[in-house]
Amino acid sequence: MPTPGTPNNTFAFADIAATGANTVRVVLATGGRWTRNDGADVANVIQLCKANRLVCVLEVHDATGWGEQSGAVHISDAVAYWTSPDIMNAIVGQEDYVIINIANEPFGNNVPESTYVNDTIAAIQDLRAAGLTHLLMVDAANWGQDWQNYMRNNAPTIFAADPLGKLVFSVHMYEVYQNASTIVSYMDAFATHGLPLVVGEFGADHQGNPVDEDTIMAEAQRRGIGYIGWSWSGNGGCCTSLDIVINWDPNNLSSWGERLINGPNGIRETSVIASIYGGSGSSSSSSSSASSSSSSSSSSSSSSSSMPPPSSSSSSSSTGGSGTCAVDYVIANDWGSGFQVNVTVRNLSSQPIDGWTLVWNLGAGESFAGGWNASFSTSGSQVTASNPAGHWNGRLAANGGTASFGFQANNSQPPANVATAFTLNGVACGGAASSSSSSASSSSSVSSSSSSSSVSSSSSSSSSSVSSSSSSTSSSSSSVSSSSSSSSSSTSSSSSSSSSAAGSALSCTPGTVDSWGSGFVLNNYTVTNTGTSPVTGWTATLSFDRTVSVTNSWGIAFATTSGSTLSGSNVSWNGNLAPGQSVTFGLQGSTSGNISPPACSAH
């Protein structure tokens, strides 16, 4: 949306969509620094997004640079805007089409780390308490560039604070990211966390300083994470070189726009329309940007995006079961000082269970840090997770009905312990541990669909920051791959026993497959060291029922990416397996028709 006195550039929605973009990020104002965008404005923007098959990423711009920028509003003011009656009326019910980017670059330089973490967590929890269930996007500190690594180091804590686990982290890569090693290191950190990341903004340069845009785009595409190029048009002062199109003319690309849209790993090459609009929504996807409605500042960008499920690291699991209940306890990510667990509770009885309470104990050195999709309490090492009757996740249907939740824990005695004894509503679900993978995934987890977006303003700031400018009249955009709510996708899972080569000390257990005809996501396939000696390096072979092409993978590197039988080896961080230790891997791919879970062997 333009600043006061400039034209209303809503025509840019169609221009952006014409590039192949799948998402537009729109700058909104609370009234703190620019004229407030009311509910009617927001509803109109959402309608324009829908008309052009774009997912809307909406952000509050008045918060840009708080703590350093004069007049910037606090992130809590952004929360007040999102939860005001007219805005709630515009966005509730639009969860499949709208991503809430809570606030653009809401912390400047020199804000204490604890302030960034605590205030960001408070904003997330206040939005959830108000009943908003949208995917939330969180910007980094330091004007989005995170050169002090506040977001990078505290992402697991922040993610755990979201009771729905529907959160994506956004870093803005400008002059702090001038070389490949810095970019790779930052992305590696989130891969280690097993948490979703997008490059919310970047350009070919910033205020005369170079940016390694080629590495940003190549690494984002290789890893299947999102990127957004800044910005569609209207930058002034220092940053006119960041205009993707000149004077809002889609037929007049700048050199930066040509690189971003038509270059290697660019928008046209990688974009996939979101499945909510009937697109295949697999692999990576991209977009450019549009402006919003009335009187307020805005900026614009273009992007490419896709994210694997946040489970791209070591995993162990157990299944505890009795005659009436069973529990799948999957360690989806273990980074030494902490770990993430996905839990599925299964009702094996012939009667439904309305309202459930699950109790288990953590191992030595472990302490509960937070969870999602359930209410939690702790007493010493004992953890209780529960949902009441009437809660969306509180019913366990008869004869195999499930409910899923997750949590994170701290750990002073790694590796993470795999719990095997549980009680459900006071009835023991204990049993011998076995290698397993959950056949149900949490309904609120960030799935293989991805979203990315970003916006920042285009005026000068300190060497590591991006500040806002009231003279900016550009707009923003981003990309989203397949929507997890797509009704066209089918989910299948395999509980077949592990298979391994003769004499091998390794087994491979099939996981889950989400298939939608033209593509699929395979996740939580588990390689386990079943021997008595450590293993250094492993290879897994997948046997599909048809020819497939791998477009993205996590936790495994494939030598050949097309065929009906594919073999891949460990990546750098997950090749060493102690006896009994497991790792998980997954992939995205394209094919023709829905596929069955492929058989898996390991050696």
DSSP 249-267: -TTSB-HHHHHHHHSTT-H
CA-CA distance, 373 to 393, in Å (whole number)?
7
Marked catalytic residue, from 59, 68, 105, 213 = 105
Distances (CA, A) of 118 to 63, 76, 82, 471: 16, 11, 19, 32
In a 13 Å sphere around the CA of 96, the CA atoms on its Cβ side amount to 15
CA-CA distance, 142 to 40, in Å (whole number)?
33
201 labelled catalytic: yes
CA-CA distance, 538 to 602, in Å (whole number)?
7
The kind and range of the H/E element at 158 are helix 150-160
In a 13 Å sphere around the CA of 543, the CA atoms on its Cβ side amount to 8
Which tokens is 468 given? 């806002």
Q: Which of 419, 402, 310 is nearest to 356 (CA)?
A: 402
Residue whose tokens read 């021997």 = 531
Identity of residue 30: T
164 in Cβ contact with 373 (< 8 Å): yes
Greatest Cα pair distance, the chain, in angstroms, is 75
Marked catalytic residue, from 59, 68, 175, 201 = 201
570 in Cβ contact with 293 (< 8 Å): no
In a 13 Å sphere around the CA of 486, the CA atoms on its Cβ side amount to 29
Is the peptide bond between 231 and the residue preceding it cis, with omega within 30 degrees of 0?
yes
175 labelled catalytic: no
CA-CA distance, 26 to 296, in Å (whole number)?
11
Tell me whether strands 506-509 and 519-529 are parallel, antiparallel or unpaired.
antiparallel
| Active site residues per annotation | 105, 201
